[in-house]
Copies of this chain bind each other. A is one copy, B any other.
Amino acid sequence: MQIPKISLTARIRKSPYYEATVKHDIKVMSVYNHMYMPQVYHDVMTDYENLTNRVTLWDVAVERQVEIVGPDAATFTQYLTCRDISKCQVGQCMYLPIVDDTGGILNDPIMLKLAEDRFWLSLADYDILLWAKGLNVHMKMDVHIFEPDVSPLAVQGPNSNALMMELFGDWIDDLKFFWFREAALNGIPMVIARSGWSKQGGFELYLQDGTRGVDLWETVWAAGEKYGIAPGAPHGIERIESGLLNFGHDLLPDMNPWEAGLGQYVHLNMPGDFVAREALLAIKTAGIKRKLVGLTIDGEPLPVNDQNWNVPGYEMDEARLTSFTWSPRYQCNIGMALLPMAVAEPGTRVTVNTPHGHLMATVVKMPFSKSLG
């Protein structure tokens, strides 16, 4: 099959960094939160090498924000999630499962607490703005809920710390993981967090003026040349190796937090009210039948999956292979699967369907570790 080109249409928004990504000869694009998202610049393996050995610049403006601001902002934000946010400090990030009134996962954003009464949710691909606004029509909380002019640019890779220190100063080195600070560069306003959707180390620069996107890209690029900077993007192989879940692959709204392995973020007894409490209490009582696990998969190197695959003997809502790839780090095929509890223990052998036919696989602990190799 000849891979089709992507349609260029006004319906899908261009990011503030769009011209820079085009100039760097972007080869593969996707669509995420109604916006174009760069995916591949050179080829999958060159992009992987750049990310894991040097430093890469990612247009992740598609991580659209929902801003919740006003006297009831903390109460309303708490209502959206099963995780207790009461101890989150201003300047801190939190991984935040958004869970609906059936216990289903609607999203897994990073929350940024900008002030006691102001929060951002940095979203995966689903219109949580509509969910939040719909909820509040009848709750009538005193909050303003909207998509602000905020477009993250990620600097990811082992050289990111040195590059960012050169651009912003020594305070960068003191910025702890999942903490952020407001900053500016040549008058370009942004929030800088030590975070990002890789485990190669890095930062997300939450640009707060969409007209300055190319300026920001070019400034970081110029300082990055001596660190071997290259254009990059969220990377299908690296994120699986690092055990990062991808909403839409590994997390779907038909899954609850325990099934997804996110039980540590369920705080049923916290004082704050949240929409999922009743459903999650019922699920806890009934117990879960499925669980997301890591796998190693036998056989020749597999490509990154472009669809969920079935597990022979089960329907897709009982079991499914949600991600897989050949891993350069572990020198074997690894993946993630939603499996029935009976076969979800580490060490269990299961058969999975793949583009290479039925293959044997072994359940392993996530995050993956060197013992796999």
Taken together as a complex, chains A and B put the C-alpha atoms of A322 and B130 apart, in Å, by 23
- Report the stretch among A69-77, A131-139, A156-164, A264-272 that lies at the interface: A131-139
CB contacts (< 8 Å) of A222 on chain B: these are none
Q: A126-B130, A130-B130, A133-B134 are in contact. Are A29 and B4 (CB under 8 A)?
A: yes
Query: Does chain B have a CB within 8 A of A283?
Result: no
Query: Does chain B have a CB within 8 A of A93?
Result: no
Taken together as a complex, chains A and B put the C-alpha atoms of A16 and B349 apart, in Å, by 32
Query: Does chain B have a CB within 8 A of A25?
Result: yes
Query: Does chain B have a CB within 8 A of A306?
Result: yes
- Contact check, B305 vs A10: say whether CB atoms are below 8 A apart: yes
- Contact check, B5 vs A3: say whether CB atoms are below 8 A apart: yes
- Contact check, B5 vs A137: say whether CB atoms are below 8 A apart: no
Taken together as a complex, chains A and B put the C-alpha atoms of A202 and B32 apart, in Å, by 32
By size class, the interface of chain A is: 35 or more
Query: Does chain B have a CB within 8 A of A127?
Result: yes
CB contacts (< 8 Å) of A11 on chain B: these are 30, 32, 125, 246-249
Selected contact of A131 from candidates B133, B139, B247, CB within 8 Å: B133
> A8-40, CB under 8 A of B: which get 1 and which 0?
111110100000001001111111101001011
- Contact check, B306 vs A10: say whether CB atoms are below 8 A apart: yes
Taken together as a complex, chains A and B put the C-alpha atoms of A100 and B247 apart, in Å, by 27
A132 closest partner in B (C-beta): B134
Q: How many copies does the complex hold?
A: 2
> A290-313, CB under 8 A of B: which get 1 and which 0?
000000000000000111100000
Min CB–CB distance A42 → chain B (angstroms): 13
Query: Does chain B have a CB within 8 A of A7?
Result: yes
Indicate the member of A134, A246, A306 with the most B CB atoms within 10 Å. A134
> A210-237, CB under 8 A of B: which get 1 and which 0?
0000000000000000000000000010
- Contact check, A5 vs B7: say whether CB atoms are below 8 A apart: no
CB contacts (< 8 Å) of A40 on chain B: these are 7
Query: Does chain B have a CB within 8 A of A6?
Result: yes
New A-B pairs, 13, CB < 8 Å, besides A11-B125, A31-B31, A126-B127: A4-B29, A6-B29, A7-B29, A7-B40, A9-B30, A9-B248, A12-B30, A34-B248, A126-B130, A127-B130, A134-B134, A135-B135, A137-B275
